[in-house]
Amino acid sequence: MAQETTYLELSEVDGGAHKFYEVLVDGTALTVRYGRIGDQGQVKTSGYPDNARARAAAARKIGEKIRKGYAPAVPGVRQKRAVSRRQIVSTRSTARTAPVLWRYDSGAPAFGIFIDGRTCMVGNERGVITTLDHDARVLDQVRLPDGVKSIVADDAWIYAGCDDGNVYDLSGKIPRVAYAIAPDIDIYWLDIHDGVLGVSDAGGGIAAVDHEDEFLWRRAGRGRSAWMVRCDSDAVYHGDSTGVSGYDWRTGQELWHTRTGSVLFGWQERDAVFAGTATREVVRVGKDGRATQTYRADAPVFSCATAADGRYVFAGDSQSSIYCFAADGTRLWKLGTGCGSAYSMQYHDQRLYVVTTSGHLACVDASEPAIRAAEAGSVPEVVDVKAPARLPEPAAYHQVEVVGEAGDGVIVECVKQGGRLRVHVLSTGYHRDWSVQFPKGIREPGARYLVTEVRESGRGGFYRTHGDIRRLR
């Protein structure tokens, strides 16, 4: 029986949607492939009792897409659209140089940063994520298929948002696709809390996605270019070209909106969010929506961070300067990075870490004695660390090791429920009816897997895998 393939595209000239949808009927199997034009996309296969029903299901899917504006096309004619990048003309700071202890040259402009008590991570526009210790020794490198937009933590899990439209779980040896964002969303930033993912995009939109990679809700937002999203147990905080809004994470209802300058970055603490703006200031907004303080810089602010509970507020501007403010808005110091403007930053244990337009991860000694010495013109000799000469190969995130018998760990099983693949725990001592947050690219119906561990989510009702995953024969 001959295969039947239908290929459709939707490409809007104003910079909107640029995606494809392909339907293949092969006997009783119906395979759908979809994604951004120029990418491999995602693949889903369904089985039907006979070829007639498979063809009928294909016709319904094709009809739905045509009604939405898709049209027949030839694969490869339209080219992949360039991914949105921040285009910042970074000028050299006129301030004295900050006390940079070390700087790692990742090799490409970098947005992603994550710092904890053990490691420092940087993700750049080549898709390379490097993990270092606090003495700048390279511990590990992985490579994603496209540029890294952000790196965020959610309890014991670390996630990277990628320009290929996916969000990768980095908690195991191999990055795994934890969330596959809709092809028409051009991710600008993301944050996550207890498995609920908040995504802000190039068009100013905001969306919340649950642990099964399904939309809880999606909103257009009030402006464009939404570079800020932060999440907690109560709300999703969103910053775009008009200001900052709070949304109920369950329903998407707008709780409040506070006008600021165009928001270019966002940070949060327990009781407030901090928006870095194009109008040369960081604005502190309480989680009730009231603006309570501003921190004035000398150029547009592209990143910000705080010490615990906002005791100190840090900012990075477009002129390669970094700032520190007291909680009441008093500027305490301004110094130059010496390695470009800070796209993102994080403060940890009296050190300020920044990732920059030049692709560096720099560690700044933010202790008072070091800052006072730098203001007087005395700085330590910076330790420059280069990236390994060879880039790692893209991670084989769709591959999974196969083992013959179960060892230490938890056994889970993938089953089909309601037309979707779900994963449940088989090992004793767990809720059998709870679903497991599990990578999308390696789910196969009927397959059993051995995972290092599963943990109950903070709010209960589902489990999350942590560590390595192997498939059982």
Tokens of 333: 């110091």
Tens digits of pLDDT across the chain (473 residues): 678 899 999 886 555 578 899 999 999 999 999 888 888 887 888 888 888 888 888 988 888 888 777 888 888 888 776 666 655 555 666 679 999 999 999 999 999 999 999 999 999 999 999 999 999 999 999 999 889 999 999 989 999 999 888 899 998 888 999 998 877 788 899 999 999 999 999 889 999 999 988 889 999 999 999 999 999 999 999 999 999 999 999 999 999 999 999 999 999 999 999 999 999 999 999 999 999 999 999 999 999 999 987 899 999 999 999 999 999 999 999 999 999 999 999 999 999 999 999 999 999 999 999 999 999 999 999 999 999 888 788 777 778 889 887 778 999 999 998 888 999 999 999 999 999 999 988 999 999 999 999 999 988 999 999 989 999 98
Report the half-sphere exposure of 15 (CA within 13 A, side-chain side).
Answer: 8
b/e 188-226 (16+ beta carbons within 10 angstroms → b): bbbbbbbbbbbbbbbbbbbbbbbbbbeebbbbebbbebb
- Rounded to whole angstroms, the Cα distance separating 33 from 39 reads 11
Q: What is the pLDDT of residue 317?
A: 96
Q: Which of 67, 46, 70, 49 is nearest to 58 (CA)?
A: 46
pLDDT digits over 290-314, tens only? 999 999 999 999 999 999 878 999 9
- Rounded to whole angstroms, the Cα distance separating 118 from 153 reads 14
Tokens of 84: 């949105």
pTM for the full predicted model:
0.81
Q: What is the pLDDT of residue 85?
A: 60
Q: What is the pLDDT of residue 440?
A: 83
- The beta-strand segments (E) located in 27-72 are 29-36, 42-47, 71-72
CB neighbours (10 Å) of residue 334? 21
Q: What is the pLDDT of residue 90?
A: 54
Q: Which of 316, 355, 317 is nearest to 128 (CA)?
A: 355
In angstroms, the Cα distances linking 464 to 252, 371, 426 are 24, 43, 14
Amino acid at 29: A
In angstroms, the Cα distances linking 220 to 206, 263, 267 are 6, 16, 21
Q: Which domains does the chain have, with CATH numbers?
A: 4-72 (2.20.140.10), 100-386 (2.130.10.10), 401-472 (2.40.50)
Helix (H) or strand (E) holding 371: helix 368-375
CB neighbours (10 Å) of residue 307? 18
CB neighbours (10 Å) of residue 29? 14
Residue written as token pair 């339907």: 23
